[in-house]
Each structure stands twice: as C-alpha cells, then as structure tokens.
Amino acid sequence: MRIGVLCLQGAFIEHIHMLGSLGAESFEIRQKSDLARSFDGLIIPGGESTVIGKLLGDLGMMDDVRNMITDGMPVFGTCAGLILLARHIENDPHVYLGTMDISARRNAYGRQLGSFACTADMKGIGEIPMTFIRAPYIEKVSGNAETLSVVDGHIVAAREGNQLVTAFHPELTGDTRVHEYFLKMIKH
Ligand code: GLN
C-alpha cells in the first residue's frame, strides 16, 4: 500500500513519519506529475488552507485531485485539509476541492483559544488525544457525511465514504490510531 502525501505547505513531514511508523509506504506529492504515480490513498495535511488552495490552483493540480477523490481515491484531510475538502466554508467565500458534504468554519475557536489539546471519543476508534492549532470545526454535515467526533458541541471529525477529515492533528500526537483507521479504510 502506498500513500501520497500532499507536500505543498504545512505539516506534511509528521504524516510521513507516522505512516512510516505503521509500515506504510508514502511519497511526496509536490507537482502535477507526481499525481500520475500509482497510489492507494491521499493525505492532505494541515497548514494554511488559502496557501495550499492557491498552490493547488497555480500548479494545475486542483481538478486532477478533485477528480481522483470523486472517482473514489481514499483521502484523509487534517485541519486545513478539512477546509480544502469542504463543500462550503462559513466564513470564507472560497471552495477549493469541495468534494465533501460538510460546512467548515475556519479559525473557528478564535485567535486566543485557537490552539489547545484534549482527549475525546472518536467513533470507531475510542478515546484519543487531539491537538488543535488555529483549527476549524464543522458547522454541519449533510448528505452522506457522518459525524465521528464532537468536542464541546462542535463536530471535529467526519467521514463520507472514501473521505475522512479531522479538525485536529493526529500526526502531532504519539497515537497512531487515526492513521490506522485511514489505512483500514483503504483496505476495505
Ligand atoms: N487556520 C488554518 C486555515 O484556516 C488551518 C490551521 C491548521 O491547519 N492547523 O487554513
């Protein structure tokens, strides 16, 4: 199994390390030609959604990535990755990939409270540590999208078929279970 990690900006190295610790092969997607390689799953990391979104457009990768996902490529978006996958962003006029039936709110916890850690339950996994960094949350899931975790009344993880998103950064904790969940999603 090989996972492509979108490495345009943000916290991609941590995903690569975590995949390595699980014995999964990964490679860096930095340009359009990298999308032509064969791979079984895609990770879109946290970072700055506006920057990653602009680069996806400038590098001519936006449509290819979107088509890949709508064709069924398993994808895992963390934080900014969640924003890029959302069909609607409450406080931003942009839609980037827009493949997932969720409505996201960027920097939803405000500037001062934007970064915090907690533990909470994630459906299908159990209690896990969660690290939030200027995080979004999901205002609303619609259609086939399903809520997987709620923290303080806000949705912080969801799944819709081949798409998994977390508002927090599992790659910044020592707990590998969310990545294992994603690898299992790919196998099924
Ligand atoms: N605040 C960032 C954004 O709006 C997301 C932060 C993150 O990915 N840690 O894109």
- Choosing from 94, 107, 138, 172 the residue with most ligand 1 atoms within 8 A of its CB, the one to mutate for a pocket test is 107
Residues 6+ apart with CB under 8 A from 108: 135, 136, 137, 154, 167
Indicate if 14 belongs to the active site: no
Indicate if 139 belongs to the active site: no
Condensed to tens digits (0 to 9), the pLDDT of residues 33-46 reads 999 999 999 999 99
CATH number of 2-187: 3.40.50.880
Which residues' Cβ are closer than 6 Å to ligand 1? 46-49, 79-80, 83, 106-107, 133-134
Instruction: Report residues of the chain scoring pLDDT below 70.
Output: 111-113
Condensed to tens digits (0 to 9), the pLDDT of residues 106-123 reads 999 886 667 899 999 999
